[in-house]
Structure 1
Amino acid sequence: MADPWQGDPRLPAFFGEAWPAIAAFHDYLVAEGELRGLIGPREISRLWERHLLNSAAVVPFLPDEGLIVDVGSGAGLPGVVVAAMRPRAHVMLVEPMERRVAWLLDVIERTGLTNVEVRRARAQELDGAVEADAVTARAVASLDKLFRWTAPLVREGGRVVAMKGARAEEELAAAAKVMRSVGLTDGRVDDATTIAGTEPTRVVSAVRGRGARVR
């Protein structure tokens, strides 16, 4: 089944200067993603809306510059999309699985992105090793776990930004105690949109409080 968004002129218009890298990433996912166990066969026909545009929805919540860390990067969603759309930022793709790390290195070569590095690690292993302006995550873990893993990686005033599903508000409420304990404040859920006709992406964000100690 063909992707109904393929060839839609709104795509290059939406992605702008990032379009060549995004298009190359899409084509590589189509050619190799299923073979390398990164996406299921049903995802090929909905890569644009379910994955690439979905990932792009998080970009407005991220800084233009500085260090952005994408934990559990997997196939490169949203990290590769973020790197293409935030060319002045340095994007670190954090992924523990060797085969996925190899994929991400291949993607960087295919897309020509120069503002990306890949780190083979779990988020918890980077405590004290990075100080990010923002940390992103997509389909990695429940918010309580995610906040514990990512808060130590964010500088004071920096932000944790997670892509979640329909129960985002419930998850955020359930994680309130953990959020406070790790020094995160201002938790909120936003419905982020990209191109008309796509489903909004639920984006959860929280800020690392100034002077907060991560316990």
Structure 2
Amino acid sequence: MEQVGARPDDWDELKVAHQIFGDRFHIAQHYHDSLAGDGVERGLIGPREVPRLWERHLLNCAVVAELIGEGESVVDVGSGAGLPGIPLAIARPDLRVTLVEPLLRRSVYLAEFVEAHGLDVLVVRGRAEESGVIKEAGGADVVTSRAVAPLEKLTKWSMPLVHEHGRMLALKGSSAAEEIERARPALAKLGAGKIDIVECGKGLVPVPTVVVRAERLSRRQRHGR
């Protein structure tokens, strides 16, 4: 997810990381180091991403916690190397986080990290649209995703995983508004409403994280009753 913007000269990524992760900063540091080492070796993160792991990946994801309420359940679809699910779980231990990832090597990495650091996170191997995944992970308050698919396809996968009035939080780039307008009729058919764009992390990160937020409408709302 490409984002552009000027980094202030006095911006200190570790200071911000301490602020966001608090007394669990050491777990975030272990995750950073794991991505920089094991993550690169396993092909989960490109080597060029290592110098900007804090800014572009961990902090970029963790600030989305601003949009999630106390104790809510979160399903992260297409979790990959655990983004944004693991940073959210570290920053907010009150959340009930499930990581959904279809590829074996990625799901194994996720399970290993979660177990090694005692995170209360469930790892489910499978595709978000599979009935078994929906049965195991569905009914959540929030579904998150980052650089997984175009918005229409993402909505089709996400809406069945949240309860009525649950929310989809899709981390997107600067073209989010254009993508929404192109997909708006399809999104309505999929039961997504109250669609807006939110910027997270203002005042914390150099470039705020752009999130497309949508609510799963009830059947009554979808049919205008």
Task: Confirm or deny a common fold (TM above 0.5).
Answer: yes
Residues 26 and 188 (structure 1), Cα distance of their counterparts in 2 relative to 1, 3 Å cut: same
User: How many residues are paired up?
Assistant: 210
Post-superposition offset of 1:178: 1.7
Give the aligned residue type for 2:111: L
CA contact (8 A) 1:148 1:178 kept: no
Residues 116 and 5 of structure 1, relative CA distance in 2, 3 Å threshold: farther
How far residue 202 of structure 1 moved from its aligned partner, in angstroms, is: 0.7
**Residue in structure 2 matched with residue 120 of structure 1 by the alignment:** 125
Deviation at 1:184, TM superposition (A): 1.3
Amino acid aligned to 2:125: R
After superposition, the Cα gap between the structure-2 partners of 1:207 and 1:71, relative to the gap in structure 1 and judged at 3 Å, is same
| Contact 1:18–1:85 (CA under 8 A) maintained in structure 2 | yes
Moved over 6 A (4+): 4-7
Quick check: 1:65 aligned with 2:60?
A: no
| Alignment correspondent of 1:12 | 18
> How large is the Cα RMSD of the aligned pairs?
2.1
Contact 1:6 1:48 in 2 (8 A): no
| In 2, Cα distance between equivalents of 1:80 and 1:42 | 21
1:11-160 superposed matches below 5 A: 11-113=17-119, 115-125=120-130, 126-129=133-136, 130-160=138-168
Distance (whole Å) between structure 2 residues aligned to residue 212 and residue 137 of structure 1: 27
Task: Return the offset for 1:107.
Answer: 1.2
Identity of aligned residues (%): 42
Query: Over residues 51-97 of structure 1, what are the superposed CA-to-partner deviations in whole Å (9 max), with x where a residue is unaligned?
Result: 00111121111232132100000000100011112212211100000
Aligned to 2:4: none
1:178 and 2:183 correspond: no
Shift of the alpha carbon at 1:195? Answer: 5.2
Partner Cα separation in structure 1 for residue 113 and residue 78 of structure 2: 16
Which ranges of structure 1 fall in alignment gaps of 5 or more residues?
none
CA gap of 1:141–1:210, structure 2 versus 1, over 3 A, is: same
Q: Taking structure 2 as the reference length, what is the TM-score of the superposition?
A: 0.86
